[in-house]
Chains A and B, each alone.
Chain A
Amino acid sequence: SAVISQKPSRDICQRGTSLTIQCQVDSQVTMMFWYRQQPGQSLTLIATANQGSEATYESGFVIDKFPISRPNLTFSTLTVSNMSPEDSSIYLCSVVAEPYGYTFGSGTRLTVV
C-alpha cells in the first residue's frame, strides 16, 4: 500500500503565525484528504485535495484559514493560517491506498501558544 511521509511531526507556534504541513506519497493518487484531530476527539475531515482543481472543504472549514495546495499527484500541503490556541490539534493527511482502504500519514502535532 501507499507510504506517506508527513512533516513536520510536531511544532510549537506563536499565535497569529502560520504553519505549512507537507505530505509526500510514494505513488500517484487522485485524491488526498486532510483531517484534524483535536485533543481527546475523533478525526474530522477538513478538505479533499484533487490535483489540478481547488480543494473541497467540509462544513466549518474555509480556504482562508486552511489553504491547500496539490501541485502534483504525489504531494500536498495544508497551511494553518493566523493560528490561535484553538488550532492546537493533530493534523493528518491520508490517501486511498487500495480500492477501499485508506493510509494515513504519521500526523503533525501542532501546539499554538
Chain B
Amino acid sequence: AQSVAQPEDQVNVAEGNPLTVKCTYSVSGNPYLFWYVQYPNRGLQFLLKYITGDNLVKGSYGFEAEFNKSQTSFHLKKPSALVSDSALYFCAVRDSEGQNFVFGPGTRLSVLP
C-alpha cells in the first residue's frame, strides 16, 4: 500500500530565503508523485508532478521538486520565498498500477516578511 510522510507540520522561512518542504513516500511499483497547494478557504491547486524522466521537476509559481529514488523522497523547493507562498502544502503519491492518490498530512508554510 502507498503511504506518504511529511515530517514537518510547520515550516517557517523568511521572505527571500530558500524554502524546502519535505516529502518521503512508499509505493510498491513506480511512483507518480505530486505536490498540491491549498490557500486559505480555497481548494487544492496543482503545483507539479513527477512521472518519469528528469529527476528535477519545475512547476508553478517558481516551485521545483527533486525526485530521489534511493531516498524515496520528493522534496519541494523554491530558491526565494514570497509571503504569498504561505499556505498548506500536500505531497501525494500514486503507484503506476492504481488510480487513487494517497495524500501526506500536509505542511503549513509560513513565510515571514
**Do A and B bind?**
yes
Residues on A facing B (Cβ under 8 Å): 6, 31, 33, 41-45, 48, 92, 94, 96-97, 100-107, 109
Q: Most A CB atoms within 10 A — which of B34, B43, B99, B103?
A: B43
Q: How far does the Cβ of A107 sit from chain B's closest Cβ, in whole Å?
A: 4
- Chain A interface SS verdict (over half): strand
CA distance A4 to B90 in the complex (A): 20
CA distance A97 to B45 in the complex (A): 12
**Within the complex, what minimum Cβ distance (angstroms) separates A23 from chain B?**
11
Contact A43 B34 (CB under 8 A): no
Whether A92 contacts B43 in the complex (CB less than 8 A), given A43-B90, A43-B103, A45-B101, comes out as: yes
Q: Tell me the complex Cα distance, A100–B32, Å.
A: 8
* Residue from A31, A42, A45 within 8 A of B90 (CB atoms): A42
Q: Are B90 and A107 in contact (CB under 8 A)?
A: no
Does B49 lie within 8 Å of A48, measured CB to CB? no
User: A92 and B44 in contact (CB under 8 A), knowing A45-B101, A101-B49?
Assistant: yes
Name the residue on A nearest B51 (C-beta). Answer: A100
User: Who on chain B is nearest to A106 by CB?
Assistant: B43
